[in-house]
Amino acid sequence: MISAVKGTRDILPPASAVWNHVEAAAREVFRVFNYQEIRTPIFEETALFVRGVGSDTDVVSKEMYTFQDRDGSSLTLRPEATASVMRAYIEHRLDQIPGVKKYYYIGPMFRRERPQKGRFRQFSQIGAEAIGSESPLVDAEVIELVIEILKRAGLSGFTLLLNSIGDANCRPAYLELLKERLRAVAPRMCGDCQRRAVTNPLRVLDCKVPEDQPIIAALPSIVDHLCGPCSEHFAAVRKQLDARGIGYQVTPRLVRGLDYYMRTTFEITHGALGAQNSVLGGGRYDGLAESIGSRIAAPGIGFSIGEDRLVMSVEAAHPDAFKPVIDVFLAPLGEAAELASGAIAAELRASGLVVERSADRKLKRALEVANKIGARFALIVGDDELASGSFQLKNMTTGEQRQLKIDEIAGLCSDRRSAADR
């Protein structure tokens, strides 16, 4: 038997309904915030991610799915989408469009991670990028947007973590201080941290090894070493969030895992996910365009939601909300009823009802099936009903039966469903 590849999975009903709900909520929020959808290829030249994401990140050094094409070029299944969006922005000269350019994407990404709760090797992200402005107003609006997505998806009780990691003016001095402090403590840390302490010390702060956390907590805070402009930018972002009534926790160790981030970084966590509790993360990446070869400055900020993890959180918060609902189960009795039931089903569906038809002409078996699949009503269609144009509608919860015409049935079922939804 052939099974799904390790780290991948099939999304089956009723879980697929939660995915559709989350994506529909996200698309509606993107619409009202004036974000347009962008779709980039699933694979890119490997150099895009090496130069954009950073060669010393775990994503590039350990997790990418890279292969050689027949022409000898190196290609990689996208591990994230921001670099791809920026590549498209530069290639198609989208900088020529006036104002802040706002794009969103929904789709699969690929990383060879160790499978764990909510993390897969093929996973889906919902993300957005706002490109063309350095303003802290844009930072705050992006954070407001993503919080609105979570709320409309049905999630509550989440926590916004916020930080600034400086820029090319203030970060080098902080990194030198961090390197100096790490020389004494890195030998007691995990192997990755020992390597990063030399090659990319900021990544040490992103370590998730529990034993290393007390050491990391004692390291210097980057917030205490921001230059004037970065400090002012961070203060302005916080002021905008305060004005919007958005709560947050300033978290000096929050650096994110990709090299292109600068200044504002943020993450949202939720308790339903356990120890690995991050639902999404994002931040500003004003130098990304230049790092992938552009001569055009393209300051931007964005985020990516781990859709798999968001769906898990929504399912945990609303365990019964996405079960399939069948409004009417048609039970045709005989050949003439079977032929007529197609038109009856079409009329009921046109009024917005979910209709299923029995494949069995025996009433007892049809009602048994209707009961097992949780149908709200069973509609009995026989020769007498066809002749009179009036049908037996059975309430599968109470057992009550009423003789009704089709237009009355549609109205009754729609009214009862609306009441149940409330």
Which CATH class, in words, describes the domain spanning 328-421? alpha beta
In the predicted structure, residue 162 carries a pLDDT above the cut 50: yes
Q: What is the pTM (predicted TM-score) of this model?
A: 0.85
Token pair, residue 334, equals 């005989």
Contact between 356 and 374 under an 8 Å Cβ cutoff? The reply is: no
Considering only residues 197 and 227, tell me which one the structure prediction assigns the higher pLDDT: 227
3-state DSSP assignment of residue 75: strand
Output the pLDDT for position 340.
86
Region 249-257: what's the mean pLDDT?
Answer: 82
* pLDDT, tens digit (0-9, with 9 covering 90-100), for 28-71: 999 999 999 999 999 999 999 988 777 667 788 788 889 999 99
Which CATH class, in words, describes the domain spanning 15-164+241-317? alpha beta
Token pair, residue 303, equals 């985020």
pLDDT band at 103 (very low <50, low <70, confident <90, very high): very high
Output the pLDDT for position 50.
87
Q: Do domains 15-164+241-317 and 328-421 have the same CATH topology?
A: no
Token pair, residue 389, equals 């144009």
Distance CA 252, CA 247 (A): 16
Output the pLDDT for position 60.
81
pLDDT band at 257 (very low <50, low <70, confident <90, very high): low
Per cent of the chain over pLDDT 70 is 94
3-state DSSP assignment of residue 30: helix
In the predicted structure, residue 178 carries a pLDDT above the cut 50: yes
Length of the chain: 422
Mean of the per-residue pLDDT values of the chain: 87
Output the pLDDT for position 361.
79
Helix axis angle, 82-91 to 46-53, nearest 10° = 110
Per cent of the chain over pLDDT 90 is 42
Output the pLDDT for position 422.
42
> Which of 84-93, 165-174, 197-206, 361-370 shows the highest mean pLDDT?
84-93
Provide the residue ranges of all domains of the chain, joining segments of one domain with +.
Answer: 15-164+241-317, 171-225, 328-421
CA distances from 268 to 148, 223, 281 (A): 12, 19, 6
CA neighbours closer than 13 Å in the CB half-sphere of residue 149: 30
Distance CA 324, CA 315 (A): 14
Q: Give 232-238 contacts, CB < 8 A, sequence gap 24+.
A: 233/134, 233/136, 233/164, 233/263, 233/264, 234/136, 234/164, 234/263, 234/264, 236/136, 236/137, 237/136, 237/139, 237/140, 237/162, 237/164, 237/264, 238/162
Output the pLDDT for position 212.
85
Give the strands of the sheet with 36-37, arranged side by side.
36-37, 101-110, 122-131, 300-306, 278-284, 262-269, 159-164, 249-250
Distance CA 203, CA 60 (A): 13
Helix axis angle, 335-350 to 406-421, nearest 10° = 50
CB-based contacts of 148, cutoff 8 Å, min separation 6:
29, 33
In the predicted structure, residue 190 carries a pLDDT above the cut 80: yes
* pLDDT, tens digit (0-9, with 9 covering 90-100), for 285-332: 988 888 888 888 889 999 999 999 899 889 888 887 788 888 999 999
* pLDDT, tens digit (0-9, with 9 covering 90-100), for 259-294: 678 899 999 988 755 555 788 999 999 888 888 888
pLDDT band at 420 (very low <50, low <70, confident <90, very high): very low
In the predicted structure, residue 1 carries a pLDDT above the cut 60: yes
Output the pLDDT for position 272.
57
